[in-house]
Amino acid sequence: MANGRRRRKLHLSKIYTFNCVKPSVDEDDQSQIGGPGFSRVVYCNDPDSLEIHRYANNYVKTTKYTPATFIPKALFEQFRRVANFFFLLTGILAFTPLAPFSSTSAIVPLVFVIGVSMVKEGIEDWRRKQQDIEVNNRKVKVHRGNGVFEYMQWRHLRVGDVVKVEKDEFFPADIILLSSSYEDAICYVETMNLDGETNLKLKQALEATSSLSEDSNFGDFKAIVRCEDPNANLYSFVGTMDIETQYPLSPQQLLLRDSKLRNTDCVYGVVVFTGHDTKVMQNSTDPPSKRSRIERKMDYIIYFMFGMLCLISFIGSIFFGIWTRDDLRNNVMTRWYLRPDDTTVYFDPKRAALAAFLHFLTALMLYGYFIPISLYVSIEIGKLLQTHFINNDIQMYHEESDKPAHARTSNLNEELGQVDTILSDKTGTLTCNSMEFVKCSVVGTAYGRGITDVEMAMARRKGSPIAAQHGEFDDSDDQTPPVKGFNFKDERIAGGKWIYEPHSETIQKFLQLLAVCHTVIPEVDEETGNISYEAESPDEAAFVIAARELGFEFYKRTQTAVYLHELDPISGQKVDRSYKVLNVLEFNSTRKRMSVIVQTEEGKLLLLSKGADSVMFARLAKDGADFEEETREHVNEYADAGLRTLLLAYRELNEEEYAEFNEKFSKARNSVSADRETLMDQVAEMVEKDLILLGATAVEDKLQSGVPECIDKLAQAGIKIWVLTGDKMETAINIGYACSLLRQGMKQIIISLETPEIKALEKSGDKDAIAKAHKESVVQQITLGKAQVTSTGGESEAYALIIDGKSLAYALEDDVKLSFLALAVSCASVICCRSSPKQKALVTRLVKEGTKRTTLAIGDGANDVGMLQEADIGVGISGAEGMQAVMSSDIAIAQFRFLERLLLVHGHWCYRRISSMICYFFYKNITFGVTLFLYEVFASFSAEPAYNDWFLSLYNVFFTSLPPIALGVLDQDVSARFCRKFPLLYQEGVQNVLFSWRRIFTWMFNGVYSGVIVFFFCAKALSLSAFNSAGKTVGSEIFGVTMYTGVVIVVNCQMVLFVQYFTLVQHIFIWGSIGIWFLFLVIYGAINPDLSTTAYEVFVEAAGPAPRFWVVTMLVVVAALVPYFAFSAVQMRFFPMYHNMIQWIRLEGRSEDPEYADMVRQRSIRSTTVGFTARAAARKGRASRERQQNGR
């Protein structure tokens, strides 16, 4: 080959989904090509084609801004916030004579706050820009003519270019595979960047282009590709390639941008989609915007403050207008010092109404300090630092997978502390999604001695001696090392002993089916010779491993065959056998089964099939179901044990039947239409019938470590837990028992359409009548369930609601869903079985909108994405089902058990911190604003500010801004250990007691009181007497400095009283803020009086040396803070909140007293709960009632 490179032989061959035949395409199948949605035409290897200029280039931009748009777009984003827009208007008005302060002092704080936010936005976008530059400047080999390939940057690629991608390189665009270094033009692709899945995918070029294996072959290569327009569907592709003859293209030939070439030396391909037309970029839409309830409520607070601001400005303007009108009456000047007979419009008695209006505008600017200008940016900084602590929490780091917690957004931190309902997936979320082959049923005989976690829980529930049960089959003498994916113990068939079983021939077929019917990829370690398997699902890997351990080792796959080391029942030795793979009928959620058609060495044509019992039993032949009843019983027993089951069946095909099927199947496969998959499924239905039953498999998906304990803690916290799963009802119920969602004695309300009456009606075939009967049955069952719950008042009994997917479809209809929700929320736990991804999302929306409470959805698979995006908070588990759930989530964790710490610790802390931070912000600004208002009242509403211009401007920016940030990041009412020990603390967030309107108005009242105390104390203490030894009285500048000093110290010392957990940072911020004020006063007062104006030397020469200044300041602070201190002390002692009670427990050293701690825990808002704590309490209650009855 070119450059001395030899073509790679096929020794890592994988699965081939369909026959490698030269396809023929009917003209009718091309009807969609060229039509709407199928209009793209690509002239391959033709750089002079005019068509390439119609399509996007390969430059990818993920940034939000460009240098030209950054300033206008970023400013627009900032001024969308109503508070920032208000301060912009006041800043503009500051340049008019209406302003009560200088324009510079008004603009600088706004510029600072907006600047900080814009810098943050700019840094984030710059990081995205750097990533874009790195990606766009990657290089790939591109055909430049005459069979010569040269490196070119990705961004310069155009549609139609032929590229050569080498091993471990990323694909630069969406490419049609032409050939590869393998002789049969296959390649292996890793799609982790697209869907998070680590298993390799097999792609194969068309036979017509597979010979293009050298660089020189492309000198004269020409082709025309006609295909679908750009779209976001990663798993479909419809098109044709014209190379003398027209050939259909499928997803099998499409290599997607950002996937990686693996285990293949190189591939050649032609670019069909570039840049933002590629499928990965079509999928990169922004997730739904989510805002926390606190943030939305904060907007209402700001609106309220605006209303109050306008009200007091309006009232002040009325008084100002009246007093201005009366300034000059009968040529008598009431306020003669204002010279009303010679004044401007602002104080003109003859135009009092206009003067009042202008005063209103001035007052809006002056009283604007009621609104905290730095609130938004301070909260953003606080939330970013909170996410840093979440991401770096070592106790939420999963060492085995090397994955920490990752908060993908900081917008919802406080929402984590208010979760009312958790909606959880089961497989991979509550369980490990790491399957182990445990049991099987063959010819109606059950094999497998293992005891599962669920069976242990069932035994405990029934009071059985589980240790004795487990010991009965204890293989203590078995020294065989454990095999991942295989936990099967049965001496009857293990170790090749199955050949002595009565139905050994059927067992042989059963094991052969396990070893052949799959899409698993074998990988041979060249050093050790050990074989590992790459499987699309953990179930598939478990089946192949089980077959290997029982004597049927799958070790090789070629283009058209699979190879096994089989145990020969006659000789008892391993023999090599091959099976020619003719067709693979793939699994999907509609078919719920997977089949392969193979030809044995003897020439027999076999259809091997495995699938869910719900579809397989109906496809059995009348003479192929001799042990159907026994198998059904075993399948139900396995489901009761929490195991996942599949039925295995087969049939022989004759050559005529297969030829007819293959012709129709090839035609369906080669059709170029959007419904190609449907056509293929319809053809598969024709052959997957009259099957002969072999048996059933049962694999265990173990509970994740710590799941029951986590659920118990969350239940104690008053959080309701719903499980939404695609599993059978029996499996879901028993998993519920194993993880303590259900308990013995809990009454179950089961809504199902599996009743005899419904089944009898379904046989009639009248679809309308069946649908009507289904809905009526569901409505009736919901009504009876509500009556059952209502009859007990929901107090003494705990109920569990269990509903299947078919019933759920009717329960979610518009006229039924509210009734269903009412029943569900009255139950302690809810389990929805056989739920589709859409149903999961609809249930989540129903709970969120129907209860008006915070919902959290948690899942690990692509089928959970809708649920995660619909919930208020989406938590993704970075598990074995890829990363799609994580990529669609708000927060990612590695294990379900970490949810306990995420909610009970970080959630509670973040909720408390943010709510307290907002309340404090309004408190300190109201305190400041009240002093301004009262000063203006005593200045006859003349819009005269009490303070120097820069005092006004820097109050929110420097002197009071840092302590609330420290509060929002570091404060703790109780430690993490006590948060988890007393989960009831979490109910403060569920009930929103820390950010209720009552608490908000209490803090506002505290601000009004503090402002009144500061003003009147200073006014009375400093009036009508000498201020210093020189006998000078107090002027407005000294009065303003004294009052401002009192405000700064009061609001910072208020923080001292409020903080629950002091750190060095808080001390530095609080006392440092006070120190900065005095330092500023000295430095600013030393500046030229043209700049410092009323602050010139006011502290050094006047206030500082005067003892009265320090005495008044100290007394003001004490008088302003004593009421809050007294209120807090009384509340703590006589009316403690949850966190106060826990603080008392800690203070008195009674945290280890079980009785006292249990008494505190009983203050839960929900008396009927789940978890093993509730189970123990229920058992204790039953024993108590029995003793009372016996005593009678």
CA 930 to the chain's CA centroid: 43
Closest CA to 810 of 844, 849, 770, 856: 770
DSSP annotation of 240:
E
Rounded to whole angstroms, the Cα distance separating 1152 from 1142 reads 12
Rounded to whole angstroms, the Cα distance separating 377 from 658 reads 70
DSSP annotation of 219:
S
The H-assigned helical ranges of 330-452 are 352-366, 375-391
CA 725 to the chain's CA centroid: 18
Give phi and psi for 1047, each to the nearest 5: -65, -50
For 544, the token pair is 């192949």
Q: State the catalytic residue, choosing from 425, 539, 613, 971.
A: 425
Rounded to whole angstroms, the Cα distance separating 978 from 236 reads 52
**CB contact set of 106 (below 8 Å; sequence gap of 6+):** 90, 91, 94, 99, 365, 953
What are the distances in angstroms from CA 309 to CA 304, 365, 367, 933, 1000?
9, 10, 6, 10, 17
Rounded to whole angstroms, the Cα distance separating 20 from 35 reads 29
Strands 254-255 and 431-442: unpaired
Rounded to whole angstroms, the Cα distance separating 78 from 395 reads 37
DSSP codes joined into one string, 459-493: HHHHT--HHHHHHHT--TT--PPPBTTB----TTT
Rounded to whole angstroms, the Cα distance separating 147 from 108 reads 64
**CB contact set of 803 (below 8 Å; sequence gap of 6+):** 750, 751, 752, 811, 830, 831, 832, 833
**CB contact set of 973 (below 8 Å; sequence gap of 6+):** 912, 1060, 1061, 1139, 1143
Identify any residues that bridge with 855 across adjacent strands, giving them in sequence order: 421
Burial classification of residue 145, based on how many CB atoms lie within 10 Å of its CB (0-12 exposed, 13-18 middle, 19 or more buried): exposed
CA 849 to the chain's CA centroid: 18
Question: 97 and 347 in contact (C-beta within 8 Å)?
Answer: no
**425 counts as catalytic:** yes
The helix (run of H) or strand (run of E) holding residue 811 is helix 805-811
For 708, the token pair is 């029951």
Closest CA to 460 of 1051, 1176, 1192: 1176
Question: 647 and 693 in contact (C-beta within 8 Å)?
Answer: yes
**CB contact set of 1008 (below 8 Å; sequence gap of 6+):** 926, 927, 930
Rounded to whole angstroms, the Cα distance separating 318 from 299 reads 29
Question: 874 and 952 in contact (C-beta within 8 Å)?
Answer: no
Rounded to whole angstroms, the Cα distance separating 306 from 493 reads 80
**Which amino acid belongs to residue 861?**
G
Burial of 186-205, coded b for 16+ CB within 10 Å and e otherwise, reads bbbbbbeebbbbebbbbbbb
Residue 619, classed as helix, strand or coil, is helix
Q: What is the CA radius of gyration of the chain?
A: 38
Residue 784 exposure: Cα atoms within 13 Å on the Cβ side: 10
The residues annotated with a catalytic role in the active site are 425
